[in-house]
Amino acid sequence: MTLAILLAVLVACVLALLPVWRLNVAGWSPRSLFTAWIAYVLLGLVVVAFPGTTRFLLPILVLAVVAPFVAGPERLARVLGGRSRRSGVIIDVTPRPAPQLPEPPARGTGHDDEDRPRDDEAAPGPG
């Protein structure tokens, strides 16, 4: 194999990882990701190997690469019949208050309320 062919294969493999990574973010299964990666690599190699088909296949390749970023992989999963990502288990990790601590005071009651005279008490007046 010549250096040019090896370089073309390497570039096609690396460039195919970009849309596959975006599909991975959408929750596609590893089997679907591998199939998509192989399809991207093969399409890229066909475009490079057969210059006559470039005029027809290059727009298809560009749309296939850009589609996961524009349309969103979630929409592609719906269109292509992929599985939707299951919602994970939500675990409440909020710490509980320690049992020996008293309950916080109700709103509006604080320590400064004890020092103020109440309305029903007679305030000392002049005289």
pLDDT digits (tens, 9 = 90+) for 59-97: 888 888 887 777 766 676 666 665 555 566 788 888 887
Q: Is residue 104 part of a domain?
A: no
Provide the domain limits for residue 71: 13-80
- Higher confidence at residue 110 or residue 81? 81
> Which residues have CB under 8 Å from 43's CB, separation 6+?
57, 60, 61, 64
For residues 85 and 76, give the distance between their C-alpha atoms in angstroms, rounded to a whole number.
13
Q: Is residue 8 part of a domain?
A: no
> What mean pLDDT do residues 2-24 have?
86
Question: How remote is the C-alpha of 122 from its chain's centroid?
Answer: 65
Percentage of residues in the chain having pLDDT higher than 90: 3
For residues 26 and 126, give the distance between their C-alpha atoms in angstroms, rounded to a whole number.
77
- Looking at the structure of the chain, the number of domains it has is 1
| CA-based R_g, the chain, Å | 33
How far lies 115's CA from each of 107, 110, 111, 112, in Å? 17, 10, 8, 6
Q: Is residue 42 part of a domain?
A: yes
Q: Is residue 113 part of a domain?
A: no
Q: Is residue 89 part of a domain?
A: no
- Higher confidence at residue 98 or residue 15? 15
Q: Is residue 1 part of a domain?
A: no
Q: Does residue 34 register a pLDDT over 80?
A: yes
Q: Is residue 50 part of a domain?
A: yes
Q: Is residue 103 part of a domain?
A: no
